[in-house]
Amino acid sequence: MQLVISPLIIALDYADERDALILADQLDPAQCRVKVGKELFTASGPSIVERLQERGFDVFLDLKFHDIPQTVAKACRAASRLGVWMLNVHASGGSAMLRAAREAVEDGGGTRRPLLIAVTVLTSMDDDALHEVGVNSSVVEQVGRLATLAAACALDGLVCSALEADRLRNVLPELLRVTPGIRPAQYAEDDQRRIMTPAAALAAGSDFLVVGRPVTAAVDPARALGQILNELVAKPGDSREPG
């Protein structure tokens, strides 16, 4: 079973390249993309991206850059040269940083321009967690503020909770919505607080769904991935990419 364009991104949250590749070799790149985060990239470096691409996978480089504009621009340019499909920055870095990142991916020198998306509020955070770090807005208000900033800086999309996706689809339809915290109904919440099932997330307005442990911790990862895809075929959503 295969979707023409799968909205699923499997999070390869491993401590070393060997384990990540063992998992990747059990998956079909026609059925999902993969995400490389801070732990795996720090342990393995650019080679993990290259090896996943050799296996046919589009790679979302999830390093959430947040620094002075020049430093972020250089990092985004380096990621572009790696040929990643998508990378992200923190919207809270401000407009100068976001514009520098956008300009860097546009002239990054890779074989294709990666999608550049902005992190709004981490899905592990709720209102209390925001207040703890001095943000007096609610999660909904802060997500909206940062999403509007990302749109003004011409980014391609957002990382957001599925709980915010529908509202963002209505007010900022030009932005893709990439949603972590996706859990099939039978799975525990783990460290994610703002979560949703895959089919519900697509129906709510998410374009791409980041799934980790429900696939990577499964006895049969390929079967677990197939079950999620079957659920999405039964209740299709609207997955899209910029033309």
Contacts with 104 (C-beta within 8 Å, 6 or more apart), sequence order? 72, 73, 74, 76, 77, 80
Architecture of domain 8-234: Alpha-Beta Barrel (3.20)
Spatial separation of the C-alpha atoms in residues 150 and 183, rounded to whole Å: 27
pLDDT band at 186 (very low <50, low <70, confident <90, very high): low
| Per-residue model confidence (pLDDT) at position 240 | 46
Lowest average pLDDT, out of 21-25, 60-64, 194-198, 207-211, goes to 194-198
| Per-residue model confidence (pLDDT) at position 15 | 95
Instruction: State pLDDT tens for residues 88-100.
Output: 999 999 999 999 9
**Is 35 flagged in the annotation as binding?**
yes
pLDDT band at 109 (very low <50, low <70, confident <90, very high): confident
| Per-residue model confidence (pLDDT) at position 61 | 98
User: What is the 8-class DSSP label of residue 236?
Assistant: -
Per-residue burial over 95-128, b = 16 or more CB atoms within 10 Å of its CB, e = otherwise: eebbbbbbbbbeebebeeebbbbbbbbbbebebe
Residue showing tokens 């919505």: 177
Q: Which of 25, 38, 58, 62 is catalytic?
A: 62
**Is 55 flagged in the annotation as binding?**
no
pTM: 0.89
Q: Which two tokens stand for residue 5?
A: 């364009």
Spatial separation of the C-alpha atoms in residues 186 and 64, rounded to whole Å: 29
235 is catalytic: no
**Is 93 flagged in the annotation as binding?**
no
Instruction: State pLDDT tens for residues 9-43.
Output: 999 999 999 999 999 999 999 999 999 999 999 99
Transcribe 61-112 into DSSP letters: EEEEE-S-HHHHHHHHHHHHHHT-SEEEEEGGG-HHHHHHHHHHHHTS-SSS
CA 117 to chain centre: 8
**Is 142 flagged in the annotation as binding?**
no
Instruction: Write the single-letter amino acid at 184.
Output: P
Q: Residue 242: pLDDT above 90?
A: no
Spatial separation of the C-alpha atoms in residues 48 and 50, rounded to whole Å: 5
User: What is the 8-class DSSP label of residue 114?
Assistant: P
- Higher-pLDDT residue of 237 and 167 is 167
Distances (CA, A) of 53 to 8, 73, 130: 16, 23, 37
**Is 186 flagged in the annotation as binding?**
no
Contact 5, 241 (CB under 8 A): yes
| Per-residue model confidence (pLDDT) at position 235 | 58
| Per-residue model confidence (pLDDT) at position 112 | 86
38 is catalytic: no
Q: Which of 25, 28, 58, 67 is catalytic?
A: 67
Q: For the residues 122-137, what does the mean pLDDT come to?
A: 92
Spatial separation of the C-alpha atoms in residues 85 and 41, rounded to whole Å: 15
pLDDT band at 128 (very low <50, low <70, confident <90, very high): very high
Domain boundaries, the chain: 8-234
Q: Which of 19, 28, 64, 127 is catalytic?
A: 64
**Is 9 flagged in the annotation as binding?**
no
**Is 64 flagged in the annotation as binding?**
yes
For residue 119, the cross-strand partners are: 90, 159
Q: Residue 4: pLDDT above 70?
A: no
**Is 66 flagged in the annotation as binding?**
yes
64 is catalytic: yes
